[in-house]
Chains A and B, each alone.
Chain A
Amino acid sequence: MTITTNLAGKKAFSHRPATTNIETVLTLAGGAALAIYGALRRDWFGAALAGSGGYLVYRGVTDLRRPYQGRVREAFTINKSRLEVYDFVRNPDNWGASLREPKFEHDGQNNVTLRFGNEDGAEFSSRVELTDEKPEDFIAWSSDDQMIEHRGVVRFKQAPGDRGTEISIALEYKSPTGPISNALAALAGLHPEQLVREGLRQIKQLMETGEIPTTEGQPVGARGISGTTKRVLYHERPAIEMQPEQRLAGD
């Protein structure tokens, strides 16, 4: 089955399915061997072999030079039927605003916004098109975006046994950030892989329990210096130590 994830007239990503390093190495080595053997035969058949060898080398080289910077694969099992999961995920109104961070907004016209923090917080907008879709099976998308290009597939599969639905996301993205900003993003929980994993996890939690478990806003004692600095690591928002109004539980 082929799933289309490229936008018409856009050459951001390779059109081929992702290949592993091993495949690339085999393609390069095999292509080179064929080309050399073909060239040594010095006949028409040899020329044909050399031609296909050359094509394999070309494929291998373009694999190596593919312009993506990262891939993410995450999967969860949700204890609901395939139809329920598909219907829930297909409409971001069901879950976009409930996510802990970032909030996921969709204007119904292909514009998607990820919002970090509160109303004034940082936001990242992207124009997204659904490129292919089959109900209860998969949804594929691609972005038409300058800063971070991304595209991918959400798939829905019945889990073995009586375990509900396996939902998976595979996406690739190309971002202008380098290794240092990537590491910093990972520390703050903002690396694409973390965002996708935690987003999916929260969708699972919402579907199974009706809420996203949290500790944000619970009582906490004096954090001290080390505890305060580690708040970034725990994704704990400041200011819960010192809410102004004291109230008695039960009032």
Chain B
Amino acid sequence: MKALCWQGKNKVEVERVNDPVILNPRDGIVRITRTAICGSDLHLYDGYIPTLEAGDVLGHEFMGEVVETGSEVSRIKRGDRVVIPFTIACGQCGFCKKNLWSACDNTNPNAWMMEKLYGYSGSGLFGYSHMMGGYAGGQAQFVRVPFIDVGAVQIPDGIDDEKVLFLSDIFPTGYMAAENCNIKPGDVIAIWGCGPVGQFAIRSAFLLGAERVIAIDRLPERLKMARAGGAEVINYEEVDDVITELKWMTAGRGPDACMDAVGLEAHGTGVASAYDYAKQRLKVAFDRPTVLRQAIQACRKGGVVSIPGVYGGVLDKIPFGAAFGKGLIFKMGQTHMHSYTGRLLEHVQKGDIDPSFVITHRFSLDEAPEAYRIFRDKKDECIKVVLDPWQEPIAA
């Protein structure tokens, strides 16, 4: 089959690799009909995630048709149309039983690596480095899905692929980030980053009853999309100081919750941002926590800082005094996908939201290397790329 393999920093290639086979009794094989490039794939592309190796198949947002199931699979049948959550969960450990699905004890075959770095290991993820399990990802024509009975979301006929594809990651991620904001009537939520997760977070915050959402970014097309979702916007390159601006817009209270939907490759203006850049280039730090600092500083007293953006290493110059002084609540982590997929599918079916609004580009799998470049460099007003693994490239 064809699969997109990482081949080093800034280099991905479509290669011919073996088809996946059933390796364990609870596995299933899915023929992928649609897959997407996630913002967090760009962290891999840019080489910021350790233990990713040349030859690893990328991709953790995908859906398709089940073509084969292992001997212990019962709920999911051959021929089912399914969306697969990007976190893999066993459904039986103490963490899964407590609905902490992305903290599953059992699904990371390389748990020892993550234990060395983080103390304990989270669940396995598709296509996201050896440390996170080393599972081959879904920017390919087929994928092997472990514990398919636990994760797969069955999609009834009559709903377009593109409307449900994002149940695999960004919609639940944006939704959980909004839920983590503990939204109460009248709340004002500030969201840094209007990429795909930020866009879903904006709409989810309104679904959960937020009064106002203030979205912060620098790219006009993203701010335009945020505005279309009902948010007020700040272009941080056009204002003196985001924090003062937020204070002004909330009449001195500060946002009730601040969301960092950017993570470790934040852009910014000013000295702090340049300092983060330098440290990352010198490889003394994985992360550029520019947004996290602003979110902590801007948040109202007793408010929530919700962090769906990915961080990897040890951060410094975090204003912890401000966090303590204001009594902030921090909520973060990989999405507990399995708690949200069913609920959000209902929202899509009822027409509360059409997740395909976020798609700006469609490519064949063969064009994926080009798609990565366009998405990374934010060329051509690109916000979200969807790939069709079976379409022949038009130019070929």
Neighbouring B residues of A234 by C-beta, 8 Å: 51, 53, 110, 130, 134
B residues near A201, Cβ cutoff 8 Å: 111
Looking at the complex, which of A40-48, A123-131, A148-156, A241-249 is the stretch in contact with chain B? A241-249
Complex contact A215–B135 (CB within 8 A): yes
Cross-chain contact B54 with A217 (CB below 8 angstroms)? no
B14-22, B172-180, B214-222, B339-347 - interface stretch = B14-22
Q: How far is the CA of A209 from the CA of B94 in the complex (A)?
A: 12
Say yes or no: A205 contacts B19, CB within 8 Å: no
Which of B25-33, B292-300, B327-335 binds A?
B25-33
Residues of A within 8 A of B142 (CB): 249-250
Q: Is A230 an interface residue (CB 8 A)?
A: yes
**Minimum distance in angstroms from B18 CB to a CB of chain A:** 5
Chain B residues closer than 8 Å to A145, beta-carbon distance: none
- Kindly state the interface size class of chain B when it binds its partner: 35 or more
A249 and B112 form a contact (CB under 8 A): no
CA distance A250 to B3 in the complex (A): 17
Task: Say yes or no: is B187 at the interface (Cβ < 8 Å to chain A).
Answer: no
Say yes or no for B24: interface residue by CB 8 A criterion.
yes
Query: Could you give, for residues 30-69 of chain B, a 1 whenever the CB lies within 8 Å of some chain A CB and a 0 otherwise?
Result: 0100000000000000000001011111000000000110
CB–CB B92/A209 < 8 A: yes
Closest to B95 in A: A79
Cβ A214 vs Cβ B23 within 8 A: yes
Number of residue pairs spanning A and B whose beta carbons lie under 8 angstroms apart: 138
Interface range for A: 35 or more
Are the C-beta atoms of B15 and A210 separated by less than 8 Å?
A: no
A218 within 8 A of B: yes
Is A223 a contact partner of B53 (Cβ separation < 8 A)? yes
Closest to B131 in A: A234
- Which B residues, 286 to 320, have Cβ-Cβ distances below 8 Å to chain A? none
Known A-B contacts A210-B72, A227-B53; the reply to A249 vs B124 at CB < 8 A is: no
Q: Which chain A residues border B109 with CB–CB below 8 Å?
A: 212-215
* Interface contact A221-B20, CB-CB below 8 Å: no
For the complex of A and B, 7 pairs with smallest distance between CB atoms: A221-B5, A250-B67, A221-B55, A219-B17, A224-B54, A223-B55, A227-B53
11 residue pairs bridging A and B, Cβ less than 8 Å apart: A79-B97, A164-B94, A208-B105, A211-B26, A211-B72, A214-B109, A217-B21, A217-B23, A222-B15, A247-B19, A248-B19
